[in-house]
Amino acid sequence: MVGKTEPLNGTATTKTGQSPSPSPPLATSMSGLLGNFSFKTLKLKTKQQELLIRVSILCLVYVLAFITRLFSVLRYESMIHEFDPYFNYRTTLYLTEKGFYEFWNWFDSESWYPLGRIIGGTLYPGLMVTAAIIYWALRFLSFAVHIREVCVLTAPFFASNTTLVAYFFGKEIWDTGAGLVAAALIAICPGYISRSVAGSYDNEGVAIFALLLTFYLFVKAVNTGSLAWALGSALGYFYMVSAWGGYIFIINLIPLYVLVLLITGRYSMRLYVAYNCTYILGMLLAMQIRFVGFQHVQSGEHMAAMGVFFLMQCHCCLRDYKEFDTVGKGKGQGFPNWFHQRRQQHKGFFKVADI
């Protein structure tokens, strides 16, 4: 028809002499938003970029440590390997069904046949109690899982947690880069993988985690002089004692480290607080494990820690006596001046002690 124009490129036509209708408000706002969008607006600051990269690498290492230990489950099936892990699984099953008291006083007539075995006094219960707590927590959260699946995956789960502890340990000693390298190395360490693969439900599955955790908390306590970190180190040592007989490595290596610091003249009140709290509380807690008992004061392999403990007390007394004699000489008020000076030097420690 005359007076009408054909549409061009699919656009709506308008009458001659009339202006085109305005676009809808939503379309206008969307087009403006897309026009102004640029990846430059997502640019992060340098510290934010470093934090994002660090967290991403740590998450990848965490996942890597877990999936590298699932080969047997993915290739074959979820099952317990070897004899000792299966015995540990049987005791854990008994613990979840009967409770801790029955487990702790259980006489197993099927083990060490025909003599039988007193379970509570002949094993380290840390592995079983850990798996049972995880199982009870999952059941409380309404996850229908069998205790066998928890036992199979306990070692890979704690291997992943060990990478986090290794990261913080390396960061505390050196920097974040060293922490990431330490986490990556322990995630793929062949010796550690062989003892923490899925289905290898043995003591080392949680003990290596407790080992690194104790060292990290002790170093943190030495660097800060905090009683809280020292208490955490003692609790970590107690967990290590409850999980594995390799706690002897800790109770000898830490005193050796303290002895080197004393010999090289690097004694400080922070070291005094950290070692005394870790040794005394850790020893008292470890004595509650029936399989360990009073070995900390009877066995020769524990005497190095006790010797360093008494050596530190002698060193502290001699050091304080020299300061007391120097401060009080010629003033007639040796002890008040000495005590006031010591209180000012270690103000934070005395505040905690007063509380």
Which residue, among 332, 307, 335, has the nearest Cα to 320 in the 3D structure?
A: 335
Question: Tell me, what's the pLDDT at 340?
Answer: 56
Tokens representing residue 347 in the block: 């103000």
- Annotate 314-343 with b (16+ C-beta within 10 A) or e (fewer): eeeeeeeeeebeebeeeeeebeeebeeebe
* 239 neighbors 187 (Cβ within 8 angstroms): no
Tokens representing residue 13 in the block: 């036509």
Question: Tell me, what's the pLDDT at 283?
Answer: 95
Which ranges in 105-226 belong to alpha helices (H)? 126-140, 147-173, 176-187, 190-196, 204-224
Helix (H) or strand (E) holding 230: helix 227-243
The SS3 of residue 355 is: coil
What is the Cα–Cα distance from 131 to 345, expressed in whole angstroms? 46
pLDDT in tens, 57-116: 999 999 999 999 998 888 888 889 888 999 999 999 999 999 999 999 999 988 888 888
Segment 137-150 mean pLDDT = 93
Question: Tell me, what's the pLDDT at 353?
Answer: 42
Own/partner contacts of 26-35, CB < 8 Å, gap of 24 or more, are none
What is the Cα–Cα distance from 199 to 151, expressed in whole angstroms? 7
Tokens representing residue 173 in the block: 């000693």
High-pLDDT (> 90) share of the chain, %? 59
The reported pTM is 0.79
How would you classify residue 153: left for phi > 0, otherwise alpha for psi between -120 and 50, otherwise beta?
alpha
Which residue, among 141, 90, 148, 97, has the nearest Cα to 119 in the 3D structure?
A: 90
Whole-number mean pLDDT of the chain?
83
DSSP 12-68: PP--TT-PPPPPPHHHHHHHHHHHH--GGGGPPPHHHHHHHHHHHHHHHHHHHHHHT
Segment 231-247 mean pLDDT = 95
pLDDT in tens, 147-170: 999 999 999 999 999 999 999 999
Q: Would you kindly state where each structural domain of the chain is located, as residue ranges?
A: 46-201, 203-354
Strand 107-108 and strand 117-118: pairing?
antiparallel
**Residue 264 DSSP code:** T
What are the C-alpha distances in Å from 275 to residues 132, 228, 308? 32, 13, 10
Across the chain, which distance is largest between two alpha carbons, in Å? 123
What is the Cα–Cα distance from 344 to 326, expressed in whole angstroms? 17
pLDDT in tens, 283-336: 999 999 999 989 999 888 999 999 999 999 998 888 877 766 565 554 545 555
